[in-house]
C-alpha cells in the first residue's frame, strides 16, 4: 500500500532536533523552502490533489517507501487522486522540515519527518499512525520552490546494528 507522498510540511511550528535542542527559526530562502512544504501539507489536509500537484515540477519523480516511483507531475496528481479518494480520504499530515541544504541558490535538499493520521487499508480499516522520514530536492522556478524529487522512508531496524553502536556525528 502506498504510504504518502510527501513530501511535505508542518515546518513552521516550534520543533526539536535530534539533539533535543530547539531548531532555529528559518529565515530567507530557507523559510521559503519551509513555506513550500507547508503549502503542500495544507493541500494534503484539504484533500486537493490538484493543489498538491502544484507543489511538484513538471518533470518530477516521487518514490514511496515501498519503492514505487512515479514520474512527472501528472502521474503524481493521478496517484494522489486515487489515494485521496480511498485510503487517504480522511487522513491528516504533519510534517517537520528538519534540515535544508542549498546546493546552489536555486536548488535545495530538505530532510525531515512526517506523521500521517487516519489513513486506512484498501478495505477501510484504520492502519494507525504512519511515521517516517522524507527527503525532497527542490528547484526555484519563476520565484516558486517546486519539488523535483521526493523520497519517503519508513524506519527499519538494521539487524547488523546493536544498541551499543552509534552513528558517527
Give the pLDDT confidence score for residue 24 in this predicted structure. Answer: 77
Give the pLDDT confidence score for residue 20 in this predicted structure. Answer: 59
Residue numbers of the domain that contains 95: 28-153
Give the pLDDT confidence score for residue 85 in this predicted structure. Answer: 95
- Return the sign of the alpha-carbon dihedral for residues 128, 78, 66, 19: negative
Give the pLDDT confidence score for residue 21 in this predicted structure. Answer: 64
Q: Is residue 21 part of a domain?
A: no
Count of structural domains, the chain: 1
Instruction: Determine contact, residues 136/149, Cβ cutoff 8 Å.
Output: yes
Give the integer Cα–Cα distance in Å for 162 and 142: 48
Q: Is residue 19 part of a domain?
A: no
151: nearest Cα among 64, 70, 79, 73: 64
Q: Is residue 162 part of a domain?
A: no
Q: Is residue 104 part of a domain?
A: yes
Could you report the average pLDDT of every consecutive run of 10 residues in the chain (169 residues)?
A: 37 42 83 98 98 97 95 97 96 97 98 97 94 97 97 87 61
Give the integer Cα–Cα distance in Å for 120 and 129: 10
Q: Is residue 144 part of a domain?
A: yes
Give the pLDDT confidence score for residue 94 in this predicted structure. Answer: 97
Give the integer Cα–Cα distance in Å for 22 and 59: 35
Dump strand ranges (E) for 74-129: 92-104, 107-117
Helix, strand, or coil here: 43?
helix
Q: Is residue 4 part of a domain?
A: no
Instruction: Determine contact, residues 134/153, Cβ cutoff 8 Å.
Output: yes
Give the pLDDT confidence score for residue 4 in this predicted structure. Answer: 37
Give the pLDDT confidence score for residue 142 in this predicted structure. Answer: 95
Give the integer Cα–Cα distance in Å for 79 and 156: 25
CATH number at residue 48: 3.10.450.50
Q: Is residue 91 part of a domain?
A: yes
Instruction: Determine contact, residues 52/40, Cβ cutoff 8 Å.
Output: yes
Helix, strand, or coil here: 9?
coil
Give the pLDDT confidence score for residue 74 in this predicted structure. Answer: 98
Q: Is residue 77 part of a domain?
A: yes
Amino acid at each position: 500500500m502506498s504510504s504518502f507522498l510527501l513530501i511535505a510540511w508542518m515546518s513552521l511550528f516550534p520543533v526539536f532536533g535530534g539533539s533535543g535542542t530547539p531548531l532555529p527559526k528559518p529565515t530567507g530562502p530557507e523559510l521559503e523552502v519551509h513555506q513550500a512544504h507547508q503549502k503542500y501539507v495544507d493541500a494534503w489536509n484539504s484533500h486537493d490533489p490538484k493543489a498538491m500537484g502544484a507543489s511538484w515540477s513538471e518533470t518530477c519523480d516521487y518514490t514511496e517507501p515501498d519503492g514505487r516511483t512515479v514520474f512527472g507531475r501528472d502521474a503524481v496528481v493521478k496517484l494522489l487522486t486515487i489515494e485521496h479518494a480511498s485510503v487517504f480520504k480522511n487522513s491528516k499530515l504533519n510534517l517537520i522540515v528538519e534540515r535544508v541544504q542549498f546546493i546552489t541558490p536555486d536548488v535545495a535538499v530538505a530532510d525531515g519527518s512526517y506523521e500521517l493520521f487516519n489513513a486506512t487499508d484498501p478495505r477501510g480499516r484504520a492502519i494507525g499512525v504512519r511515521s517516517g522520514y522524507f527527503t525532497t530536492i527542490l528547484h526555484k522556478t519563476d520565484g516558486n520552490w517546486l519539488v523535483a524529487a521526493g523520497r519517503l522512508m519508513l524506519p527499519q531496524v538494521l539487524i547488523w546494528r546493536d544498541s551499543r553502536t552509534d552513528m558517527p556525528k
